[in-house]
């Protein structure tokens, strides 16, 4: 279905794009901080605290380090914010209106997901700070570690669905059969993708690039004021985007396996459940070193994703596709 320019602008700027993802992302930050506080036997912040923190940063001054290229220093955070807005739009439009998905939107999502850490590395490199550069190098190493297992995990569901590259088609396949998570190969792929997303978010045990106790914030150490606010907002929006990414690709989107349209309201609990699981892992594990993270992703996580891919290929090559495998 062809969309008018007005609808495209509405999708990108209002719902389900920038404004909607901003609000929900900041709410997800509150969920993160609240669950973290409960794990540590604290009360946690009030509901509006993430909103207050963001607007407070907008009112502060931005200091540009001496020798830093201003175009990259200011441009990288804005590009990151735009990328997350487009990601949210593509994913949610595909979930709500599968017929409006465009061919190869899965490839676009992968490119945008790969673009976000590259933008962070660019911003860190442009800050003229050796500590920030160290954080950027750690981010690059981590990116090289988790990207291959993530690609294998997504290749698993593509093979299992018969080679579908449209997000809408992948969702239709899950609605017609069963969510990929409810099969052996899909479960292997989900665990692998989940761990890769944990690293992409910079959550413990993979908060290597922003380790405050080691490199004092790493890639964001020289950012301040509205620029830092944009970076914080981008990460807040990513809270929501990565959780719906896993929900759509592995858990059948926001649909519930019961009759009645109103039951699908509870489908919004799926990404919240994924977020809570991420937060629990973040609060119950120690930080890994760069070399430990590299070995972990290129051995255990890669093995999980490859096994899932092989099982999916075997299930698909059978005379009658084996759904549970």
Q: Averaged over 203-223, what is the pLDDT? A: 77
Domain boundaries defined on the chain: 5-317
Out of 7-11, 83-87, 91-95, pick the least confident: 7-11
pLDDT digits (tens, 9 = 90+) for 2-41: 567 777 788 888 888 899 999 999 999 999 999 999 998 9
Torsion of CA 244, 250, 256, 259, to 10 degrees: 140
Task: Please choose, from the candidates 144, 146, 114, the residue with its C-alpha nearest in 3D space to the C-alpha of residue 305.
Answer: 146
Tell which phi-psi region holds residue 85, choosing left (phi > 0), alpha (psi between -120 and 50) or beta: alpha
Quickly list DSSP for 243-260: HHHHHHHHS-TT--SSSS
> Distance between CA 117 and CA 238 in Å, rounded?
12
pLDDT of 262 above 60: no
pLDDT for the residue numbered 130: 79
Q: Averaged over 306-314, what is the pLDDT? A: 94
Contact between residue 90 and residue 103 where contact means Cβ atoms under 8 Å apart: no
Contact between residue 221 and residue 248 where contact means Cβ atoms under 8 Å apart: no
CA 270 to chain centre: 14
pLDDT of 220 above 60: yes
pLDDT for the residue numbered 263: 57
pLDDT digits (tens, 9 = 90+) for 159-174: 999 888 899 899 999 9
The pTM is what?
0.91
In 97-129, which residue ranges form alpha helices assigned H by DSSP? 105-125
């Amino acid at each position: 279905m062809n969309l008018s320019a007005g609808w495209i602008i509405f999708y990108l700027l209002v719902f389900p794009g920038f404004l909607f993802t901003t609000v929900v992302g900041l709410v997800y930050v509150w969920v993160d901080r609240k669950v973290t506080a409960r794990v540590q036997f604290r009360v946690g912040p009030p509901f509006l605290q993430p909103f207050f923190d963001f607007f407070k940063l907008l009112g502060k001054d931005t200091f540009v380090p001496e020798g830093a290229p201003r175009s990259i220093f200011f441009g990288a955070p804005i590009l990151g914010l735009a990328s997350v807005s487009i990601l949210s739009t593509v994913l949610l439009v595909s979930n709500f209106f599968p017929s409006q998905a465009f061919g190869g939107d899965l490839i676009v999502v992968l490119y945008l997901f790969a673009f976000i850490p590259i933008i962070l590395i660019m911003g860190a490199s442009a800050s003229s700070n050796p500590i920030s550069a160290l954080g950027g190098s750690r981010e690059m190493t981590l990116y090289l570690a988790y990207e291959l297992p993530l690609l294998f995990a997504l290749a698993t569901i593509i093979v299992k669905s018969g080679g579908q590259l449209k997000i809408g088609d992948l969702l239709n396949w899950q609605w017609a059969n069963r969510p990929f998570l409810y099969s052996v190969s899909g479960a292997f792929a989900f665990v692998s993708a989940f761990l890769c997303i944990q690293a992409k978010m910079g959550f413990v045990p993979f908060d290597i690039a922003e380790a405050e106790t080691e490199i004092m914030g790493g890639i964001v150490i020289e950012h301040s004021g509205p620029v830092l606010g944009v970076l914080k907002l981008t990460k807040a929006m990513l809270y929501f985007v990565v959780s719906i990414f896993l929900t759509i690709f592995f858990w059948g989107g926001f649909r519930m396996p019961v009759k009645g349209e109103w039951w699908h309201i509870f489908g919004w609990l799926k990404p919240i459940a994924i977020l809570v699981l991420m937060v629990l892992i973040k609060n119950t594990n120690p930080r890994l070193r760069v070399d430990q993270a590299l070995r972990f992703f290129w051995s255990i996580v890669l093995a999980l994703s490859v096994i899932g891919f092989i099982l999916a290929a075997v299930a698909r090559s059978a005379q009658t596709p084996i759904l549970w495998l």
